Amino acid sequence: MITKSKHKDGLCGSSREQLHARIGRELFLYTQRRELGCRNFCYTNPHRIVDDYASQLMPQLFQEKEYRLGQINKIFSSQWLNTKQIVFGTKCNKLEVLDLNTGNLDHIPSLKSSNNSVPASCPCGIHSIAVNPSKTLLATGAENTNDLAVYKLPTFDPVCVGERAHNDWIFDICWLDDEFLVTGSRDSHLGLWRIDGFDDVDSSPLNSLQVPEYSITSPLLVKECTDARKVRALAYHDERKELAVLSLNAYFHIWDVETFKMVYNRKLQNSKENVCMCVSKPKTLYAIGSQSHVNLVDPRSKHTLTTIISKYRGGGIRSVSFHEDIITIGTGTGHILFFDLKGGKYLESGCGHSCALVLGKGWLLHDENYMGFFMHQYNQEFPNAIYTHQYDDSGTRLFVAGGPLPAGLWGNYAGLWS
Q: What is the DSSP string of 217-269?
A: E--SEEEE-TT-SSEEEEEEETTTTEEEEEETTTEEEEEETTTTEEEEEEE-S
Q: What is the mean pLDDT of each run of 10 residues along the chain (418 residues)?
A: 51 49 50 51 47 58 92 97 98 97 97 94 91 97 97 96 96 98 97 78 40 86 94 97 96 96 91 92 95 92 83 89 94 95 85 81 81 57 92 94 92 96
Beta bridge partners of 96: 88, 107
pLDDT value for 306 = 83
pLDDT value for 205 = 39
> Per-residue DSSP letters for 124-139?
-----EEE-TTSSEEE
Domain locations in the chain as residue ranges: 16-61, 109-224
Residues 125 and 170 sit within 8 Å (Cβ to Cβ): no
pLDDT value for 382 = 82
pLDDT value for 277 = 97
| Chain mean position to CA 370 | 28
Rounded alpha-carbon distances, angstroms, from residue 46 to 13, 33, 40, 101, 392: 27, 12, 15, 32, 21
> Per-residue DSSP letters for 333-392?
TSEEEEEETTTTEE-B-TTSSBPEEE----EE---HHIIIIIHHHH-S--PEEEEEEEE-
The span from the CA of 154 to the CA of 137, in Å, is 8
| Chain mean position to CA 244 | 15
Residues 192 and 182 sit within 8 Å (Cβ to Cβ): yes
| Phi, psi (deg, nearest 5) at residue 50 | -60, -45
Rounded alpha-carbon distances, angstroms, from residue 218 to 32, 39, 166: 60, 58, 11
pLDDT value for 32 = 53
Write the single-letter amino acid at 235. Answer: A
Q: Are strands 221-224 and 189-194 parallel, antiparallel or unpaired?
A: antiparallel
Q: Which CATH number among 2.60.120.260, 2.130.10.10, 3.65.10.10, 3.30.360.10 corresponds to the domain 109-224?
A: 2.130.10.10
The span from the CA of 237 to the CA of 253, in Å, is 13
Q: Are strands 158-162 and 215-217 parallel, antiparallel or unpaired?
A: parallel
Beta bridge partners of 296: 287, 306
CB atoms within 10 A of CB 70: 9
Q: Which residue in 185, 153, 193 sits closest to 169, CA to CA?
A: 185
In 163-205, the DSSP E strands lie at 170-175, 180-185, 189-194
Residues 276 and 317 sit within 8 Å (Cβ to Cβ): yes
> Per-residue DSSP letters for 92-125?
TS-EEEEETTT--EEEEPPPPPPTT--PPSS---
| Chain mean position to CA 412 | 16
Q: Which residue in 89, 81, 86 sits closest to 99, CA to CA?
A: 86
Q: Which residue in 362, 330, 335, 318 sits closest to 71, CA to CA?
A: 362
pTM: 0.84
Q: Which residue in 218, 106, 203 sits closest to 152, CA to CA?
A: 203
Beta bridge partners of 285: 280
Q: Which residue in 51, 52, 88, 42 sits closest to 69, CA to CA?
A: 88
Residues 341 and 287 sit within 8 Å (Cβ to Cβ): no
pLDDT value for 21 = 55
pLDDT value for 15 = 47
| Phi, psi (deg, nearest 5) at residue 94 | -110, 140
